[in-house]
Amino acid sequence: MTDSNAADDNWLIQEDEEPAPVDGTGSPEQRLWRVLIVDDDVDVHAVTRLALRNVSFKGRELELFSAYSGREAYEFLRDTPDIALVLLDVVMETDDAGLLLARRIREELHNAIVRVVLRTGQPGQAPEQRVIIEYDINDYKAKTELTTQKLFTTVISALRAYESLNMLERSRIGLGKILAGATNLYQIHSLREFASGVLNQVSAILDVGADGVLCLMQGDTGVTSVVAATGGYAALGESELMPASHPLWPTIAKAFAEKKSQFEHPANVLFIHTQENREVAISVTPPWPLAQIQRDLLEVFCQRIAAAFDNLYMFGQLRKAQEATVVALADLAEFRDSGTGGHVRRVQMLSTSLAQRMAARGVYAGELTPQLLEMIGLASILHDVGKVATPDHILLKPGIHTPEERAEMQTHAAVGRSILERAANMVDGVSYLTYGAEIAGGHHEHFDGNGYPNQLAGRAIPVSARIVAVVDVFDSLLHERPYKDPWPHTEVMTYITERAGKQFDPEVVAALLDLIERDPTIGHTPD
């Protein structure tokens, strides 16, 4: 045996040293490598610590833990994250305790990343070929063959494999968060809500707290507005423009100037350029420098966000066009009936408030969907759009209608529904026109079935129409019409309450009373 080999084999008698300090903080790239020694022999723990005392890999030292039985090791692995390597004895409290632990790690803890190296002093009890085939372990060593150098090689090989698997797993999780996050973001309509969602998703990808700022530059104006701010920067959300004195501004300005992302710890700025000539800077300040894998994931996310910003803009434009069409239709109907004044606008506001109050009261939860709550106000202004087909001599008559004229007048409900249904069928999904058709055709139906045009009763009448039925009558009675003077507020409320359960849905009437109790000025606002 050479001197070098003798020195290598005599590692058991080397002088002990204090282990490296424990540090569980910092980024995954800065933390110590966590290694668990599992053996029922105290001396094995001591000599293993001795042999690994100066070992480091990629600038990170080892953090060594000890367990003296299979059960103790299982509980430790269950409760302790990021164990990279288990040096595992086979024979402990039972002859196969180590083998059982190896199986439990994979099958019960579902930990496929931690590297498991079996060390045994009795190879005959657990033959290597059988163990390697039947158990998901990564190496098998007899204790007699583990010199200092061989143990070093075994540990470094295991850590290198763990790092590769860990990076793959983090990439998989990060990409999953990107896909899930981008899907959620497409469901957000408001730009500020969208921006806040972006910041939260970036924080999720980095697995850090949500401290960030999203700034937007329109074209080449040089004007940088703060769209959203979270965490420690939340106060910036109150600012219209990004303050030039803020510590993040130099890095954000550099990203806009160079038109590329900047990673200057602690300030990291993701730069996004959209096809609609918008430039977006997302600034985050994680507590540690970003690893390359995190940068790559964020760049992938930014590509998705650029498309999402453009889609959000297009969605906003389509939504505005749809709203403008609804308003134009309502204005057309009101133009011929100038005596109604601001009736449709008041109906719009009160219908929204009434639907929200009903939702708060917990009634008709299945019918008062988020879409309806969002759209009922604007859709309600279409309730009398069918009057475009009513002859002027009937529509504008200042006196009481004859039975024939009343029958002609009542056709506006069916006409309005027919017009709006045809338009709604040209658009996929639910739109303002969908609810507008429901309201136009159903707001003159009575809860007891004695209304028109189809004598629907109870909940067979769409809830949107049941709401607008109350609002329409409430507002019409309170204001002057060609054929009537305005009614006093008390008389209007008496009329409405007396017809609860007959003409009107009692739950809608109750919600109106609730609204007026909370705000007595409702209905008293002048035109």
Question: Hey, where are the domains in the chain?
Answer: 33-171, 188-315, 337-518
pLDDT digits (tens, 9 = 90+) for 228-267: 887 788 888 777 788 888 888 899 889 988 988 888 888 8
The model scores a pTM over 0.85: no
Backbone φ, ψ for residue 487 (5° rounding): -90, 150
How confident is the prediction for the chain on average, in pLDDT? 81
Average pLDDT (131-152) is 83
Strand 60-67's sheet: what is its strand order?
56-57, 60-67, 33-38, 83-89, 115-120, 139-142
Residue 108's pLDDT is: 94
311 vs 369: which has the higher pLDDT: 369
CATH architecture of 188-315: 2-Layer Sandwich (3.30)
Superfamily of domain 33-171: Response regulator (3.40.50.2300)
Average pLDDT (320-335) is 72
pLDDT digits (tens, 9 = 90+) for 396-411: 777 778 888 888 888 8
Active site residues: 387
Average pLDDT (341-363) is 88
Residue 218's pLDDT is: 63
Residue 23's pLDDT is: 42
Q: How far apart are CA 110 and CA 118, in angstroms?
A: 19
Q: How far is CA 161 from CA 33, 116, 175, 291, in A?
A: 13, 11, 21, 18
| Matching residue, tokens 């190496």 | 139
Instruction: Tell me the CATH class for 337-518.
Output: mainly alpha
Residue 274's pLDDT is: 79
Q: Which ranges constitute the DSSP H helices of 342-402?
A: 343-361, 370-380, 392-395
Is the pLDDT confidence value at 19 over 50? no
- Give residues with Cβ within 8 angstroms of 449, minimum separation 6: 455, 456, 457, 458
- Give residues with Cβ within 8 angstroms of 124, minimum separation 6: none
Residue-by-residue DSSP string for 99-114? HHHHHHHHHTS---SS
Check residue 221 and give left, alpha or beta (phi > 0: left; psi -120 to 50: alpha): alpha
Report angle CA 377, 382, 383 to the nearest 5 degrees: 95
For the purposes of burial, counting CB atoms within 10 Å of the CB of 520, is it exposed (0-12), middle (13-18) or buried (19 or more)?
exposed
Residue 521's pLDDT is: 83
Residue-by-residue DSSP string for 21-44? PP---S-TTTSPEEEEEE-S-HHH
Rounded to an integer, what is the distance from CA 298 to the centroid of its chain?
Answer: 17
